[in-house]
């Protein structure tokens, strides 16, 4: 494949012998694989990454028993493209239509496409996805919510799916299990629109008196459960979710999948909704953090992690199960609702020492918590090795004794040895993708952000975006917060990284 062969890092070749040994071992006993994917969780939002204002004991326990990555990245600073890249092994910016998806978007990953799930299914795994999808459903024109839903995860390698179709702040506010909306009354069909208002249900814009949580910007359309959303929806009353129960519902489904498939290798992609807006945690967590619903949602996510890890342990599957805990992008405090997240933030720093956050070209957008737990196989500790979520596809292929077919996972490289802590060798380079489409690249100690137009700050969310009319170059070894632009002092490095980034863009 042109991209993989032409840009393959030398570290892969140097480590080939070790990779073969791991692959041979794994063919004897293929591990279960669980990815726990948080939503909008910042690098500084968990205590094992330095948070002092909030405690995340279940995540911390996984980190103590596993490997904590200090320099791991998702591919993009927003949800849909990160999820696309993780599952397909292809940078989302290579494909049109991979921006933040609406609730009625058609399937972004076409049926039959090779994904992490299909690779593991071919290796004999039972495969399941539970939680937030946000990658579209249905053919062109979108899903038929009142009938069988085609172009779903079941068409790209998953045996089972229980989905939040898009996000909690977007309609339709229903769960989809496999190919059907859960609990739908056929006499009350669902209608969804992101273009024309459906003037049947009240909106937050016209009836704020009906709201229990008010929008700060946008999010003022159809009201469900006392919260106005993005988009218009009518019908489906019996199928509507209750936000406060969402974490319990999806975690319960994830646990059921594990229990049902305990006797054979399984892959579970568990994509939680916390800590994305609207933040409406269960009463067990409401008010417990002292930081408002955002902090409470972090506690709820930590509980979700604890439920999954304890289920694995209770079933005596710990030494047979590789668990990864990470996030789809960096943090945002006010992302559309007045939920006291800003007022009660206090001394907490969601991005930790990083600059920017969700949407941003700075590392706060894509540098994320990443923990690997596999007792007996992954030695507990910490690594500073550069790692990207996009490499999970190729690494899992090696782990399960497979070779990716031509054209599959074109941007995914085998870094299994790094994932398992066998080596500390860095990925040679890594591309980051901001919400406005701007690309940046990290190589060694350097990070380069190309010049371009755009506002410096997203005023709605108060996050620095990393836009500048001049090239930006940061020495991440001495300036993790990307405060000192060294481009003018290092023109040769700027040229090298400009050329490398262009080469990566051209190879597809």
Rounded Cα gap, residues 216 and 463, in angstroms: 15
Q: Look at residue 15 and tell me whether its pLDDT is greater than 50.
A: no
At 25 the pLDDT is 45
Give the end of a domain, one of 391, 419, 447.
419
Are residues 329 and 452 both part of a single domain?
Answer: no
At 250 the pLDDT is 98
Q: What is the pTM of this model?
A: 0.95
Rounded Cα gap, residues 177 and 228, in angstroms: 24
- Judging by DSSP bridges, how do beta strands 457-458 and 446-449 pair with one another? unpaired
Are residues 161 and 266 both part of a single domain?
Answer: yes
pLDDT one-digit tens code per residue, 375-390: 999 999 999 999 999 9
Q: Kindly state the average pLDDT of the residues 477-482.
A: 98
Burial class for 59, CB neighbours closer than 10 Å (0-12, 13-18, 19+): buried
Tell me the angle at which helices 292-314 and 57-64 cross, rounded to the nearest 10 degrees.
50
Give the end of a domain, one of 357, 384, 419.
419
Phi, psi of 253 (to 5 degrees): -65, -35
Are residues 415 and 446 both part of a single domain?
Answer: no
Residue matched to tokens 């668990």:
323
At 29 the pLDDT is 59
CA quadruple 458, 464, 467, 469: dihedral sign? positive
Give the end of a domain, one of 367, 399, 419.
419
Considering the chain, what is the average pLDDT of its residues?
94
Residues 369/326, Cβ–Cβ less than 8 Å? yes
Domain assignment present for residue 224? The answer is no
Are residues 327 and 473 both part of a single domain?
Answer: no
Question: Residues with Cβ < 8 Å from 23, sequence gap 6 or more?
Answer: 398, 399, 401, 416
Domain assignment present for residue 185? The answer is yes
Residue matched to tokens 């591919």:
75
At 328 the pLDDT is 98
Q: Look at residue 254 and tell me whether its pLDDT is greater than 80.
A: yes
C-alpha dihedral, 326 to 76 to 414 to 261, nearest 10°: 40
Are residues 440 and 362 both part of a single domain?
Answer: no
Taking residue 304's Cβ as centre, other Cβ atoms within 10 Å add up to 24
Are residues 176 and 287 both part of a single domain?
Answer: yes
458, β-bridge pairs: 463
Rounded Cα gap, residues 416 and 422, in angstroms: 8
Are residues 147 and 58 both part of a single domain?
Answer: yes
Are residues 479 and 361 both part of a single domain?
Answer: no
Structure tokens at 389: 């979520």
Q: Look at residue 21 and tell me whether its pLDDT is greater than 60.
A: no
Rounded Cα gap, residues 109 and 124, in angstroms: 22
Rounded Cα gap, residues 344 and 289, in angstroms: 10
Q: Kindly state the average pLDDT of the residues 387-399.
A: 97
Domain assignment present for residue 225? The answer is no
Residues 157/267, Cβ–Cβ less than 8 Å? no
Are residues 174 and 305 both part of a single domain?
Answer: yes
Domain assignment present for residue 207? The answer is no
Domain assignment present for residue 216? The answer is no
* Count of structural domains, the chain: 2
> 13-35 burial, b if ≥16 CB within 10 A, otherwise e?
eebeeebeebbeebeeebbbbbb
Residue matched to tokens 């933030």:
345
The secondary element (H helix, E strand) that includes residue 117 is helix 116-122
474, β-bridge pairs: 447
Structure tokens at 379: 């030695």
Domain assignment present for residue 424? The answer is no
At 81 the pLDDT is 98
Domain assignment present for residue 219? The answer is no
Domain that holds residue 383: 2-190+235-419
pLDDT one-digit tens code per residue, 265-277: 999 999 999 999 9
Are residues 435 and 316 both part of a single domain?
Answer: no
Q: Kindly state the average pLDDT of the residues 436-443.
A: 95
- For residue 262, CA distances in Å to 250, 265, 388 come to 18, 7, 29
- Judging by DSSP bridges, how do beta strands 67-69 and 370-373 pair with one another? antiparallel
Q: What angle do CA 65, 69, 75 make, to 5 degrees?
A: 135
At 170 the pLDDT is 98
Are residues 435 and 380 both part of a single domain?
Answer: no
At 4 the pLDDT is 56
SS3 of 475-500: ECCCCCCCCCCCHHHCHHHHHHHHHH
Are residues 468 and 387 both part of a single domain?
Answer: no
Share of the chain above pLDDT 90, in %: 92
Question: Residues with Cβ < 8 Å from 310, sequence gap 6 or more?
Answer: none
pLDDT one-digit tens code per residue, 291-329: 999 999 999 999 999 999 999 999 999 999 999 999 999
What CATH number is given to the structural domain containing 502?
Answer: 3.30.1120.10
Residues 417/22, Cβ–Cβ less than 8 Å? yes
What is the DSSP secondary-structure string of 124-171?
T-EEEEEEE--S--SSTT---TTS---SSGGGTT-SEEEEESS-TTBS
pLDDT one-digit tens code per residue, 398-438: 999 999 999 999 999 999 999 999 998 878 999 999 999 99
What CATH number is given to the structural domain containing 21?
Answer: 3.40.720.10
At 11 the pLDDT is 39
pLDDT one-digit tens code per residue, 110-132: 999 999 999 999 999 999 999 99
Rounded Cα gap, residues 76 and 80, in angstroms: 9
Q: Kindly state the average pLDDT of the residues 442-456.
A: 95
pLDDT one-digit tens code per residue, 325-362: 999 999 999 999 999 999 999 999 999 999 999 999 99
Domain assignment present for residue 290? The answer is yes
């Amino acid at each position: 494949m042109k991209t993989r062969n032409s840009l393959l890092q030398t570290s892969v070749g140097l480590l080939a012998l070790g990779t073969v040994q791991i692959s041979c071992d794994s063919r004897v006993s293929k591990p279960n694989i669980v990815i726990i994917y948080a939503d909008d969780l910042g690098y500084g939002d968990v205590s094992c990454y330095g948070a002092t204002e909030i405690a995340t004991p279940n995540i911390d326990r996984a980190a103590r028993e596993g490997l904590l990555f200090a320099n791991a990245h998702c591919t993009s600073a927003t949800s849909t493209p990160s999820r696309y890249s993780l599952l397909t092994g292809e940078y989302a910016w290579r494909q049109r239509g991979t921006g933040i998806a609406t609730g009625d978007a058609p399937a972004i990953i076409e049926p039959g496409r090779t994904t992490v799930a299909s690779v593991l299914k071919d290796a004999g795994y039972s495969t399941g996805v539970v939680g937030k999808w946000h990658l579209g459903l249905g053919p062109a024109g979108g899903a038929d919510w009142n009938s069988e839903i085609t172009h779903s995860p079941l068409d790209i390698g998953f045996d089972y799916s229980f989905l939040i179709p898009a996000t909690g702040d977007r309609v339709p506010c229903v769960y989809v299990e496999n190919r059907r909306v859960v609990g739908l009354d056929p006499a009350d069909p669902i209608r969804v629109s992101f273009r024309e208002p459906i003037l049947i249900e009240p909106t937050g814009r016209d009836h704020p008196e009906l709201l229990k949580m008010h929008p700060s910007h946008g999010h003022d359309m159809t009201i469900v459960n006392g919260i106005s959303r993005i988009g218009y929806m009518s019908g489906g009353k019996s199928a509507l979710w209750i936000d406060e129960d969402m974490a319990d519902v999806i975690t319960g489904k994830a646990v059921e999948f594990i229990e049902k498939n305990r006797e054979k290798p399984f892959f579970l992609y568990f994509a939680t909704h916390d800590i994305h807006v609207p933040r409406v945690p269960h009463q067990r967590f409401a008010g417990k953090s002292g930081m408002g619903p955002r902090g409470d949602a972090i506690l709820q996510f930590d509980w979700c992690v604890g439920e999954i890890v304890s289920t694995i342990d209770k079933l005596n599957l710990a030494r047979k199960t590789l668990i990864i805990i990470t996030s789809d992008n960096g943090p945002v405090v006010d992302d559309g609702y007045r939920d006291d997240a800003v007022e009660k933030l206090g001394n907490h720093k969601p991005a930790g020492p990083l600059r920017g956050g969700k949407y941003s070209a700075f590392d706060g957008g894509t540098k994320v918590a990443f923990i690997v737990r596999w007792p007996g196989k992954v030695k507990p500790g910490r690594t500073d090795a550069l790692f990207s979520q996009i490499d999970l596809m190729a690494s899992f292929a090696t782990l399960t004794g497979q070779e990716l077919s031509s054209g599959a996972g074109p941007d995914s490289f085998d870094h299994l040895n790094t994932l398992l802590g066998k080596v500390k060798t860095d990925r040679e380079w890594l591309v980051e993708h901001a919400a406005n489409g701007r690309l940046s690249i990290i190589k060694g100690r350097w990070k380069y952000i190309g010049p371009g137009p755009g506002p410096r700050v997203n005023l709605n969310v108060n996050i620095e975006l990393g836009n500048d009319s001049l090239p930006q170059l940061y020495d991440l070894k001495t300036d993790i917060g990307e405060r000192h632009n060294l481009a003018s002092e290092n023109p040769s490095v700027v040229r090298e990284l400009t050329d490398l980034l262009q080469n990566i863009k051209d190879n597809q």
